[in-house]
Amino acid sequence: MGFGQGLSGLDAASQNLDVIGNNIANANTVGFKAATATFADIYATSRVGLGVKVASIDQRFTVGNITSTGGQYDLAIDGANGFFRLVDASGSISYSRNGQFGIDKNNNIVNAAGQQLTGYGPGGVGTAPIPLTLPTANIAPAATTSSGFTANLNANAAVIDPTATPFDPTNTATYTDSQPMTVYDSLGNSHQLTTYFAKRAGTGGPPATTSVYDVYYTLDGQAMAPTTATAATPPVWGGATQLTFDSSGRLTNTPPTVNLSFATPGGAGSPAAAMAITMDYTGTSQFGGDFKADFTPNGNTTGEFTNITFGKDGSIVANYSNGKTQSVGTVALANFNNVNGLQPIGDNNWSETSESGQAVLGQPGTNGLATLQGQAVEESNVNLSTELVNMIVAQRTYQANTNTIKTQDQVLQSLLAIQ
């Protein structure tokens, strides 16, 4: 027996204790991956070995627990395959599982070290990754150009004679039902478009086979004329269109649309573009029941950026004060053929090496990549109970190797005593 075996054992045990201690120290480090020391024996030309060495120190890339944080920009990689791709001010690229992100003064999505999260621009999945930046401008307004309008007009409503009772939007006795809705001009200003339905005498027969409603429109109380108004006697207020229904209560207009226009929706003080809106009455009926209307106008006023949400697929959606949303990019994930070939570089980051292979980028949830979970982070995968037991074993191993050195020393002392 020589001192070499014992010394190699001490060195290996010491390194193992270092690895275990580092694991324990990072038990609460977000995205940290525990490491394991692997040992190999040392042989000379004789059958007697020369001791032990640390063959490698490998990280365990198992998934840690996902914990909800409520942080608006926090992200967790929910699966084993994938790393966030980060870039610093010098252009150096690194990879991480730590999804604790925030924004800097320039609205870039960054980690605590100032490294920017990268991904794809809007509609650019599969292109070269870029640093992800949040929008700062308001979302532009969009004028209302169309609206679905599905209603049931009460078949039992009384007929209103337009000669005896001409339509007047200020007199409820001159129309059967009305429905207001909010629409927007090209500047994002809101206006109230009101649709009025006045039941008229049926046609066909006798008895009548077709029910008729005259339909009128106002914009902020002013007549909004259809582009194809029907003539009526006496002349009607602002012009009207007609909806007709068969004996089954189903709409017979073909096509079931009405085109409306208003030249100066904003007036002299807010010169918005002329409005042109197509009303689509598909699905409107006349059955025995109360009046009920559902409408779906497009368009929106301007909106301020409020926050973002992350989708499982990495999509980043900006939310605005007007209720609208807008895609502003997609987080990219990187994967490697050999994750144990990555080089740890601190700050919970790794760098690519020849052993790891080149990073393969993609959208979360595709090609075997993990998905993302917003407002959450991945905890360290260190198991404290296991590490404490490993520490006891490593400590005993260290003590045992000191005993082999002590025994060798005693043997040498005995040999010296023979003289």
Per the model's pLDDT, the better-predicted residue between 205 and 380 turns out to be 380
Q: Give the Å distances, CA to CA, from 383 to 17, 65, 99, 306, 386.
A: 15, 11, 20, 39, 5
pLDDT, mean of residues 96-101: 97
Summarize pLDDT for 152-195 with one digit per residue, the tens. 999 999 999 999 999 999 999 999 999 999 999 999 999 999 99
Q: What is the pLDDT of residue 237?
A: 53
Summarize pLDDT for 127-139 with one digit per residue, the tens. 999 999 998 889 9
Where in the chain do CATH 2.60.98.20 domains reside?
Answer: 146-297
Mapped onto helix, strand or coil, the DSSP state of residue 87 is strand
Give the pLDDT band of residue 80 (cuts 50, 70, 90): very high
Mapped onto helix, strand or coil, the DSSP state of residue 21 is helix
Distance in angstroms (rounded) separating the CA atoms of residues 162 and 237: 11
Q: What is the dihedral of CA 124, 125, 128, 131, to 10 degrees?
A: 80
Cis check for the bond before 207: say yes or no (omega within 30 of 0).
yes
In this structure, CATH architecture of domain 146-297:
Sandwich (2.60)
- Backbone φ and ψ of 247, nearest 5°: -70, -10
Distance in angstroms (rounded) separating the CA atoms of residues 270 and 264: 9
Helices and strands (H and E) in the chain: how many: 2, 28
Is 230's pLDDT higher than 70?
no
The pTM (predicted TM-score) of the whole model is 0.75
Q: Taking a C-beta distance cutoff of 8 angstroms, is the pair 222, 193 a contact?
A: no
Distance in angstroms (rounded) separating the CA atoms of residues 161 and 200: 6
Summarize pLDDT for 347-395 with one digit per residue, the tens. 999 999 999 999 999 999 999 999 999 999 999 999 999 999 999 998 8
Distance in angstroms (rounded) separating the CA atoms of residues 345 and 8: 27
pLDDT, mean of residues 105-134: 95
pLDDT, mean of residues 26-53: 84
Q: Give the Å distances, CA to CA, from 108 to 72, 89, 102, 206.
A: 14, 12, 8, 73
Distance in angstroms (rounded) separating the CA atoms of residues 140 and 323: 13
